[in-house]
Amino acid sequence: MLRCWGAGAGQSHAETKERIAKLLSEYLDSRDAAEASRCLRSLAVPFFHHELVKQALHAAMENPAHTDAVITLLKRLSESCEVNSSQLAKGFQRTAANLADTALDSPTAPDAYSSILAAAAAAGLLEAELLPELRSNAAAAAGAAEHPAPSAAANAGGGGGSAASPSGAAAAAAA
């Protein structure tokens, strides 16, 4: 981290990520944006603010009730120039780039991300020319979540459940 983002407040990359996670968790509990802002400044890693954006987006994807709070925080940090537009964009891009992987664990993530993206666009957080790329990544991830690639074991005849199995047929009949 030292070489890429500067020494910060003397913490390692992992420690910085942990402190960002704690800052974000405390903000989501208290909605105290001033305190979140103070904590972010104390980290002294302005070139790592994209990590805050990424973690905030993941928190909102995991719990859509956090979306408004996340957008409010990011807007405040953007308007106060504590998180610049480049760091905002990078956080959104990092999240979008990994959305297909996120969708493997959480199939609703692409739809949640699209909703967050719409809220961010409405709040004026992102530059208009960035939106098509981000929307495209969300759409591709949604498609991947709906039609996951078959696993190697299934391709090799290694099993895995299917609608043809007794439990799959019962579930299909019950639907």
CB atoms inside a 10 Å sphere around CB 134: 22
Structural contact between residues 120 and 127, judged by C-beta atoms closer than 8 angstroms? no
Range of weakest confidence among 7-11, 45-49, 129-133, 145-149: 7-11
Q: Residue 104 pLDDT > 90, yes or no?
A: yes
pTM of the entire predicted model = 0.78
Our CA angle for 134, 138, 141, nearest 5°, is: 140
Q: Residue 145 pLDDT > 80, yes or no?
A: no
Q: Residue 2 pLDDT > 80, yes or no?
A: no
Q: For 117-152, give the DSSP string.
A: HHHHHHTT-S-GGGHHHHHHHHHHHHHHHHSPPPPH
Q: What is the pLDDT of residue 70?
A: 98
Amino acid identity of residue 170, one-letter, is A
The runs of H, that is alpha helices, within the chain are: 2-5, 13-30, 33-43, 49-62, 67-79, 85-97, 99-105, 109-122, 131-146, 152-155, 166-174
29/24 Cα distance (integer angstroms): 9
Q: Residue 9 pLDDT > 90, yes or no?
A: no
Q: Name the average pLDDT for the chain.
A: 84
Res. 150 pLDDT band, cuts 50 70 90: low
Q: What is the pLDDT of residue 63?
A: 97
Res. 138 pLDDT band, cuts 50 70 90: confident
